[in-house]
Chains A and B, each alone.
Chain A
């Protein structure tokens, strides 16, 4: 059995009286692509923030490679080999590409002085790796000058820089054009081929279905379903499942409309 990179046990998170997560178990093994899906407000974002250490759970255990951790934080999460590409990309847009790639992880030498040349070298290599083939932008370019897809590229370059073991992609294809989306998927396959794990969060079930080995469906702060890819026949099955949990008994007309849509295809 593959090594378990991270495991969450009975994670609860409440904001005041409101429970965002009510006891979630989730694990990611080495080399696995897990698709995390769920409606708005299902708790996906909170779960991601807990995994990346930005938010602390109210209760529950976090295990990294089988060992429970204490004092979980964003810095600890990155040290443990977990890199997150946040939905908002977490970029500082007035700074250069190189400063964004090394944000919070500056390459420093004696007494904290930056190794500027090494950073630029590494940044150029990363930019080539993720397909910044254009000569228009250099590591010195300001991120604010880049398009949405290119900004996503910078966020991804930052995530792959340190050979992370688990890369969390939070809705990486939202607001991207068709070709940019294709590039993101190309990258996801590359990462999987290199044996690293991915937790892919998406609204678009078709997107998630294409690349995930396993699906976790989140609903109102709880895991409603965990299933292997092989157990699901098609993306439509998953969609039906989600419609069922969202509206038990079905919305009047919804099922018919959906059936009609399928018939039309």
Chain B
């Protein structure tokens, strides 16, 4: 028997523990600020990217970036994205993906537009839209989970299917909802307070609530465990399929709210409503620091990612470059963020 095999009485934990102790690794939570930084490194990294990007834009064109109008226009459209980015963080954490949310946005906002056009109160329209979102989310989720399909392909299919249905029935015709401007719902959800678009407050409330749900609620805890190791989760009695369906329903709810907000901004519903959000929203999730492999993620990071992505387009144009640069910068930010996150977070297996 070699000496290495003998139990070490001085160190009852074996050599593994000794190696770790040798490095004097201590948990960050015991170090106040440093702990905060380490625990939130993904979202803080995203914030860093955003600040650097804005600094570059501001240096390029200081005058435009000191006018409020620029921020006001971003704050009007950003909330729509936030309502879908945040639920998508849950989906990606759960180890799935949902590409059907643009069609869900279109479908739910269509229901909203129909209810409003029929003369009912917009509040009722929002309720009907959210209900539609829940049903569609459940449908998509069940198809993926109980049908045992790849969420990437199945949700892509559902996106085409639902959008196709909208197009077939509406034959490309939009709906103008001029009466919306005088409704109390519009005042609450889509007006301005001291020049600030009121949507952003609702979006922030949604982000904060979702972040709590993610970090401080059984739902978030189970989403993370299922995304991390579905076998372990089911061995510990978690209904893995139910949790997976729930995240799709959550996307449905977010997409429905986003759809209603986008209609209220424009007073018009288009059969293409939501289509333009697919790629920017997906980019926001990953720019935000949620990795593709599931198990971990950050809601705050996703929100900051959405802010970053919304500012790219505005920023590039405002900085004096032509619109042709937008896609290039979009790509550049995505790649740089991914490289940053790769360096920033270790993956444990």
Residue of chain B at shortest CB distance from A76: B237
CB-defined contacts of A140 to chain B, threshold 8 Å: 27, 29
- The docked-state distance in angstroms from the alpha carbon of A137 to that of B96 is 31
Residue of chain B at shortest CB distance from A137: B27
User: Is A86 part of the contact surface with B, judged by Cβ < 8 Å?
Assistant: yes
- How many of chain B's residues have a CB under 8 angstroms from any CB in A? 43
User: Is B229 part of the contact surface with A, judged by Cβ < 8 Å?
Assistant: yes
CB-defined contacts of B234 to chain A, threshold 8 Å: 54, 74
Most buried by B among A103, A113, A183: A103
User: Is B194 part of the contact surface with A, judged by Cβ < 8 Å?
Assistant: no
User: Is A93 part of the contact surface with B, judged by Cβ < 8 Å?
Assistant: yes
- The smallest C-beta distance from A218 to any residue of chain B, in angstroms, reads 21
CB-defined contacts of A250 to chain B, threshold 8 Å: none
- The smallest C-beta distance from A170 to any residue of chain B, in angstroms, reads 11
- The smallest C-beta distance from B35 to any residue of chain A, in angstroms, reads 9
Contact of A134 among B5, B8, B17, B296 (CB under 8 A): B17
- How many of chain A's residues have a CB under 8 angstroms from any CB in B? 51
User: Is A138 part of the contact surface with B, judged by Cβ < 8 Å?
Assistant: yes
- The docked-state distance in angstroms from the alpha carbon of A70 to that of B201 is 50
Cβ A92 vs Cβ B235 within 8 A:
no
Cβ A103 vs Cβ B217 within 8 A:
no
- The docked-state distance in angstroms from the alpha carbon of A224 to that of B17 is 41
CB-defined contacts of A105 to chain B, threshold 8 Å: 236-237
Segment at the B interface, from A17-25, A30-38, A143-151, A188-196: A143-151
- The smallest C-beta distance from B244 to any residue of chain A, in angstroms, reads 15
Contact of A179 among B7, B30, B222, B233 (CB under 8 A): B7
Residue of chain B at shortest CB distance from A53: B237
Cβ B229 vs Cβ A91 within 8 A:
yes
User: Is A95 part of the contact surface with B, judged by Cβ < 8 Å?
Assistant: yes
User: Is A99 part of the contact surface with B, judged by Cβ < 8 Å?
Assistant: yes
CB-defined contacts of B15 to chain A, threshold 8 Å: 177
Contact of B229 among A84, A92, A142, A177 (CB under 8 A): A92
CB-defined contacts of B30 to chain A, threshold 8 Å: 138
Contact of A136 among B26, B217, B229 (CB under 8 A): B26
Cβ A114 vs Cβ B238 within 8 A:
no
Contact with A along B193-219 (1 / 0, CB 8 A): 000000000000000000010001111
**In the complex where A114-B221, A136-B21, A144-B349 touch, is A104 in contact with B233 (Cβ < 8 A)?**
yes
- The docked-state distance in angstroms from the alpha carbon of A154 to that of B14 is 17
**In the complex where A94-B228, A99-B225, A142-B348 touch, is A52 in contact with B26 (Cβ < 8 A)?**
no
User: Is A78 part of the contact surface with B, judged by Cβ < 8 Å?
Assistant: yes
**In the complex where A114-B221, A138-B30, A149-B14 touch, is A94 in contact with B236 (Cβ < 8 A)?**
no
Cβ A92 vs Cβ B21 within 8 A:
no
Residue of chain B at shortest CB distance from A86: B235
Contact of B224 among A78, A92, A102, A136 (CB under 8 A): A92
CB-defined contacts of A245 to chain B, threshold 8 Å: none
In A140-187, which residues have CB < 8 Å from any B CB? 140-145, 147-150, 158, 177-180, 182-183
In B1-33, which residues have CB < 8 Å from any A CB? 5-8, 12-17, 20-21, 25-27, 29-30
In B333-349, which residues have CB < 8 Å from any A CB? 346-349
CB-defined contacts of B346 to chain A, threshold 8 Å: 144
User: Is B183 part of the contact surface with A, judged by Cβ < 8 Å?
Assistant: no
Ranked 3 nearest A-B pairs via Cβ:
A144-B348, A147-B16, A104-B236
Q: Which residues in A have some Cβ–Cβ distance to B below 8 Å? A: 52-54, 73-75, 77-78, 84, 86, 88-95, 99, 102-106, 108, 112-114, 116, 134-138, 140-145, 147-150, 158, 177-180, 182-183
A sample of 15 cross-chain residue pairs with beta-carbon separation below 8 angstroms, ordered by A number, consists of A73-B237, A74-B236, A77-B237, A84-B235, A90-B232, A90-B236, A92-B225, A93-B228, A94-B224, A95-B295, A104-B236, A106-B218, A113-B216, A114-B216, A180-B13
Known pairs A91-B229, A103-B225, A141-B27; list 18 more (Cβ under 8 Å): A54-B234, A74-B235, A88-B231, A88-B232, A90-B232, A91-B232, A94-B347, A104-B238, A105-B237, A106-B221, A113-B218, A136-B21, A144-B348, A145-B20, A147-B16, A158-B236, A178-B5, A182-B7
